Amino acid sequence: MMAYRRERKVKKGGKRSGTSVSDRDGIIALKDLTKKFGNNVVLDNISLTIEKGKTTVVIGPSGCGKTVLIKHLIVLLRPSSGEVYFKKRRIDNLDEHELNKVRTRYGFLFQAGALFDSLSVAENITFPIRQHYKIKDWSEVEELVKTKLAMVGLDGFQNFYPANLSGGQRKRVALARAIALNPEVVLYDEPTTGLDPIRADVINELILKLQRELGVTSVAVTHDMTSAYKIADRIIMLHHGKIIADGNAEHIRNHPHPVVQQFINGQVNEDDLAVLRASGTIFQAQFLPRDFEE
Ligand SMILES: Nc1ncnc2c1ncn2[C@@H]1O[C@H](COP(=O)(O)OP(=O)(O)OP(=O)(O)O)[C@@H](O)[C@H]1O
Ligand SMILES: [Mg+2]
């Protein structure tokens, strides 16, 4: 059997419990991970175990290190100190060649996760396959593209080019590409950003479907709390390089930390206000009602 047809057993009836988190079924682990860029400490001694078959959502304000965090899960960034494990094997110290083999177990949908404009939908989806394997049987690959597109509701769009798709359709094709190699783990960076609520919800449903039907482990970064509450078994909030909240939706909703409450309720926090005040934009940009009167 060809490697890209790797199938996995999926436990049936594994209803999401959304309850407490244990280390038992960890598929990825970060251990005492610190990431600095110059003097900027973005992740400050973080330890985290990602549970197999669950959806973990990472939230936090812009610039807090969410993208940096998920890039470490697949070692697209190397830690300044600390370790990364995939299935108990240390991976942060592997060379690129070895890492690329590990990366075939992952699918990812990145923030700027654009499709290749010059490639058709089908070519975009086969891209990761061609990157890692020599294809001998094209009919098998065609079948695979069809299956993946059907999963995201876009079978029939094989010969379209990205320019002729809507934003939501492009995300769905990117998702089909992310699952082309039947990954065990899918990483999503802002999967619903820029989509209207209905299209965003289609993506949420697809993430849930992948978990239910393929048993994938998902890690998603998002600002979108509607999406977070819908898809997450577990929500983690990052703030100043640390995890300040960690638990299911209920736990996060009722979290006593004011920064968590401000974030989930979409309020501007004091740090942001200080920056805005310092740059003078709040007051200078303000208009009085009479500015609009005739
Ligand atoms: N390659 C890099 N070199 C230097 N600094 C970086 C690099 N990548 C990220 N940073 C810094 O790390 C911090 C966290 O960035 P990151 O992209 O993880 O934020 P984020 O939480 O994903 O924000 P957003 O919600 O806006 O996507 C920022 O201060 C950013 O400037
Ligand atoms: Mg980001």
In a domain, 249, yes or no: yes
Nearest to 79 by CA among 90, 63, 64: 90
CB 116 within 8 A of CB 162: yes
In a domain, 269, yes or no: no
In a domain, 197, yes or no: yes
Long-range contacts at 272-275 (CB < 8 A, ≥ 24 apart): 272/61
Does 1 have pLDDT greater than 80? no
CB 239 within 8 A of CB 60: yes
Gap between the Cα atoms of 234 and 220, Å rounded: 10
pLDDT for res 286: 52
Q: 222: Cβ below 6 Å to ligand 1?
A: no
Q: 77: Cβ below 6 Å to ligand 1?
A: no
Torsion over CA of 289, 290, 291 and 292, rounded to 10 degrees? Answer: 70
Nearest CA to ligand 1 atom 8: 68
Domain count, the chain: 1
In a domain, 88, yes or no: yes
* pLDDT class of 18 with cuts at 50, 70, 90: very low
Q: 64: Cβ below 6 Å to ligand 1?
A: yes
Q: What is the pLDDT of residues 77-131, one digit of tens each?
A: 999 999 999 999 999 999 999 999 999 999 988 866 678 999 999 999 998 888 8
In a domain, 228, yes or no: yes
Q: How far is the CA of 42 from the centre of ligand 1 (A)?
A: 8
**Which domain, by its residues, includes 231?**
20-258
Q: To test the ligand 1 pocket, which listed residue (39, 42, 72) has its Cβ within 8 A of the most ligand atoms?
A: 42
- Whose structure tokens read 């065990």? 184
Q: 26: Cβ below 6 Å to ligand 1?
A: no
Q: What is the pLDDT of residues 166-185, one digit of tens each?
A: 888 998 999 999 988 889 99
Counting ligands in written order, the one closest to the CA of 238 is 1
pLDDT for res 4: 56
In a domain, 1, yes or no: no
In a domain, 7, yes or no: no
pLDDT for res 44: 97
Percent of the chain with pLDDT over 90: 59
Q: 68: Cβ below 6 Å to ligand 1?
A: yes
Nearest to 57 by CA among 177, 201, 188: 188
Counting ligands in written order, the one closest to the CA of 223 is 1
* pLDDT class of 137 with cuts at 50, 70, 90: confident
pLDDT for res 260: 93
76 DSSP 8-state letter: S
pLDDT for res 272: 66
Does 11 have pLDDT greater than 50? no
Q: Which ligand 1 atom sits closest to the C-alpha of 40?
A: 29
pLDDT for res 289: 55
Q: What is the pLDDT of residues 27-63, one digit of tens each?
A: 999 999 999 999 999 999 999 999 999 999 999 988 9
pLDDT for res 270: 65
Counting ligands in written order, the one closest to the CA of 110 is 2
Does 190 have pLDDT greater than 80? yes
- Phi then psi dihedrals of residue 54, to 5 deg: -110, 165
CATH number of the domain encompassing residue 252? 3.40.50.300
* pLDDT class of 193 with cuts at 50, 70, 90: confident
Q: How far is the CA of 241 from the centre of ligand 2 (A)?
A: 14
Residue 41, CB-side half-sphere exposure with 13 Å CA sphere: 10
pLDDT for res 86: 96
Gap between the Cα atoms of 257 and 59, Å rounded: 14
In a domain, 241, yes or no: yes
| Strand, coil or helix: 239 | strand
Q: How far is CA 89 from CA 27, 72, 102, 151, 185, in A?
A: 10, 14, 10, 31, 15
Q: 63: Cβ below 6 Å to ligand 1?
A: yes
Kindly report the pTM of this predicted structure: 0.83
Could you tell me which residue, 165 or 271, shows the higher pLDDT? 165
Gap between the Cα atoms of 88 and 23, Å rounded: 12
